[in-house]
Amino acid sequence: MPGVPNPFSASDDVFDDYDAFVPDHIPDPGPFLGDHDVLTGDAHVAFHELTRDVFEERTVYDMTFDYNLARLNLDTRHPSAGYRYAEQSDDPSVLRAEFTPTTPFCPQSNTLTLASFRAWNGLSDRHDYDMVRVRLHPVHQNAAQINTELAELETVYEETGAVTRPEEPDENR
pLDDT of residue 167: 64
pLDDT of residue 169: 56
pLDDT of residue 11: 55
Angle at 60 between CA 57 and CA 63, to 5 degrees: 135
Residue 144 belongs to a domain:
yes
Alpha helices by DSSP H, listed for 65-142, are: 109-122
Residue 8 belongs to a domain:
no
Our count of domains for the chain comes to: 1
- Distance between CA atoms of residues 71 and 51, nearest Å: 10
Q: Which long-range contacts (CB under 8 A, 24 or more apart) does 143-150 make?
A: 143/109, 146/109, 146/110, 146/113, 149/110, 149/114, 150/113, 150/114, 150/117
Residue 170 belongs to a domain:
no
DSSP label at residue 22: -
Residue 34 belongs to a domain:
yes
- Give percent of the chain above pLDDT 70: 88
What pLDDT, in 10s, does the model give residues 104-156?
Answer: 999 999 999 999 999 999 999 999 999 999 999 999 999 999 999 999 999 99
Residue 21 belongs to a domain:
no
Does 68 have pLDDT greater than 80?
Answer: yes
Residue 1 belongs to a domain:
no
Residue 131 belongs to a domain:
yes
pTM above 0.75, yes or no: yes
Residue 80 belongs to a domain:
yes
Domain that holds residue 71: 26-160
Q: Using CA atoms in the order 147, 153, 159, 160, what is the torsion angle rounded to 10 degrees? A: -160
